[in-house]
Chain A
Amino acid sequence: MTFRQRTIPYWLLAPGLLWLVIFFVVPMYYMGELSLKTGTVQTGYELTWAFSNYSDAISQYSEQFIRSFWYAGVATFFCLLIGYPLAYAIAFKAGRWKNLMLFAVVAPFFTTYLIRTIAWKTILDDSSPVVSVIEFLGLAPQGHVLATSGAVIAGLTYNFLPFMVLPLFTALERLDRRLLEAGKDLYASTFQTFWRITLPLTMPGIIAGILLTFIPAAGDYVNATFLGGTSQSMIGNVIQSKYLVVTDYSEAAALSFTLMAIILVALLVYIKFAGTSALMGEEEEAR
């Protein structure tokens, strides 16, 4: 190999690396530094190694942290519950409607996230027929749906459902149908075939879907802003108001870093538990 051939891979990597450095590494560094400073926008900030920013973040906003993970967890669970059968139906049963159904899953992206969430505000408004039905069924003990945990979780579930369905669809679509026949041939009923073969072999898709849904849902504040009340605020709302309303940049940076750290730790535990091979989809790569 000539010098030129050897260096080509690095040149190909360069634009991506440059992008990452400018828009990820550098901002992360500044935000990390900011989270350890004290001061105000007016007087300027000074690096004082103020780790109290972090202890304050956790002690003052533990309620919002817990609520964020709770909401994100429940929403992810519902996404999986709705998404798996949907992805299964699209991959296995849709036939010539497959592309149309996939398009329907992605179609909401043609409207802005904000608009879609505000639309839910109308759907869940006290005067909407949907709410009348919910109330009729006795599912709204507070007498309204907006500004409840249920509304925020419903919004999160709706908004992040495509992120669950798409990786699940890919995993199910890739599944070798002959394996299912082999399962049935070896006396496994339809349910057993699903449980022993389909589910384990689509685990990489499930894990990818859970990560893609849970991580952004935990940091989300739009759903809580429009669909929740004051007692439904998530950690995203706190960070947003610290940055844009209170302009307490240090505290906001510390909160952001804490959120990121918790998600990272959770992710590592999860990968350890689920196995990296499942995450990377190695098992599917049978020669």
Chain B
Amino acid sequence: MDLDIADGEFFTMLGPSGCGKTTTLRMIAGFEQPTTGKVLIDGTDVAGQPAFKRPTNTVFQSYALFPHMTLEENVGFGLKRKKVPKDEIKTRVATELERVGLSREAKRKPNQLSGGQQQRVALARALVNLPKVLLLDEPLGALDLKLRKGLQVQLKQIQRDVGITFVYVTHDQEEALTMSDRIAVMNEGRIEQCDDPETVYERPTTTFVAGFIGVSNLMPAVASGPGEVRIEDGPSVPTPDAARFSSGERCYAVVRPEKLDVDLPENSPTDQPGVDGVVESSLYLGTATQMAVRVAEDVSMTVLCPNVSEEERQSLPGAGARVRLSWLPEHMHLVAESDADKAAADSKPTETVTEGVN
């Protein structure tokens, strides 16, 4: 695995549990040592160095606050070990607690705080040392949804303010998309794709990435020439993406649910690529209507139709209707089958079931 993280970047490693993201983080922190290879921080190879000698700090998933110390002592712990003068420790600790909004609780012990507050202390305890790299191991994993949303915004804000490189580990794709400058999507110890959130979402490069981020809308296809791909059991459609594949190569066509138009075949725009299918189900989600449309025996596509007006919603085809899905050529992308997915497809079906378990 080769990973290059820029100075001051909010970098996220995203993947299912067991994909190696936490292990990678622990190797940067120094809790685990790589058997081969290098870990360079600011040009210096720190591989082999113990954690306490590295210019990194970690925010643990479980916070790991010292229960026998007050918040002040917790936050000041690292500075004290670095022999920073007492006065400076005091002001820096106070500033940091102020930043996370816990100045009044400075004399309390961690077990007197709520989960969200403990999480903020853990952040302050790491940030106060001004590390070169701040490592965050699913720091919001144990919090409820509302609190998590609030802290996501705060965390991003703090990262912009301090300008420290954040390396963030999560399995929550939405969290990764909202906060990161760049995302590395990992699977089975390998990086599947490493790009900014827009690219990862809009232009996934493998089936795994397409499936892990957002809804997996994959249609098996074969590249049939420059600028054209033939969808299995369907028509040939134009795409600028086909150049990445040699003619005759197998791939998958991806169209995000919100980019699909669903119409009765006679009303469908004739100048757009599309496939025919049957509506299997239609779910009212409030802001949108979600439809499942079966386009081939084992291919089902998810469509999101925004609820613009009541009239439009009423006119949507119901379950059982024959429809045509269409999209703009630039909204379709071709992805290669992930090596891991390939392996899973080759092995027995019982094993493919466990593959998706998080």
Contacts and interface: CB of A to CB of B under 8 A. Distances in A.
B60 A182 contact: yes
A189 B81 CA distance: 9
A197 B66 contact: yes
A186 B78 contact: yes
Interface stretch (B51-59, B259-267, B326-334): B51-59
Contacts of B60: 178, 181-182
Interface string A195-211: 01100110000000000
A184 B52 contact: yes
B67 interface: yes
Interface in A239-287: 283-287
Query: What interface size band does chain A fall in?
Result: 20 to 34
B62 interface: yes
A30 to B, nearest CB: 45
Given A181-B60, A186-B129, A200 B81 contact: no
B344 to A, nearest CB: 33
B111 A286 contact: yes
A110 B31 CA distance: 42
Nearest to A188: B81
Given A181-B31, A182-B58, A192 B81 contact: yes
B110 A184 contact: no
B327 to A, nearest CB: 48
A178 B62 contact: yes
A23 interface: no
A195 to B, nearest CB: 11
A185 B81 contact: no
Contact of A184 (B51, B68, B82): B51
Candidate in A186, A187, A284, A287 with the most chain B CB atoms within 10 angstroms: A186
A176 B64 contact: yes
A188 B64 contact: no
Contacts of A285: 111
Contacts of A197: 66
A176 B110 CA distance: 14
Candidate in B60, B68, B78 with the most chain A CB atoms within 10 angstroms: B68
B129 A283 contact: no
Contacts of B58: 181-182, 185
B341 to A, nearest CB: 34
A191 to B, nearest CB: 11
Contacts of B57: 185-186
A187 B82 contact: yes
Contacts of A20: none
Contacts of A286: 67, 110-111
Given A181-B31, A287-B111, A186 B81 contact: yes
B31 A201 contact: no
Contacts of A104: none
Contact of B56 (A178, A185, A201): A185
Interface string B108-121: 00110000000000
Interface in B75-130: 77-78, 81-82, 110-111, 125-126, 129
A114 interface: no
A182 B129 CA distance: 13
B50 interface: yes
Nearest to B57: A185
A193 B126 CA distance: 16
A147 B67 CA distance: 48
B279 interface: no
B29 interface: yes
Given A286-B110, A286-B111, A287-B111, A185 B52 contact: yes
A12 to B, nearest CB: 30
A179 B66 contact: yes
Contacts of B78: 186-187
B178 to A, nearest CB: 26
Contacts of B30: 184-185
A193 B67 CA distance: 14
Candidate in A184, A196, A284 with the most chain B CB atoms within 10 angstroms: A184
A182 B61 CA distance: 11
A287 to B, nearest CB: 6
Q: Which 10 A-B pairs have the closest CB atoms?
A: A186-B78, A286-B111, A182-B64, A187-B81, A178-B64, A184-B51, A286-B67, A185-B58, A184-B52, A187-B52
Interface of A: 176, 178-179, 181-190, 192-193, 196-197, 200-201, 283-287
20 contacts: A176-B62, A176-B64, A179-B66, A181-B31, A182-B65, A182-B66, A184-B30, A184-B50, A184-B52, A185-B29, A185-B58, A185-B126, A186-B52, A186-B77, A186-B78, A187-B81, A196-B77, A197-B66, A201-B68, A286-B110
Given A184-B50, A187-B81, A200-B68, 4 more contacts: A185-B52, A186-B77, A283-B68, A284-B67
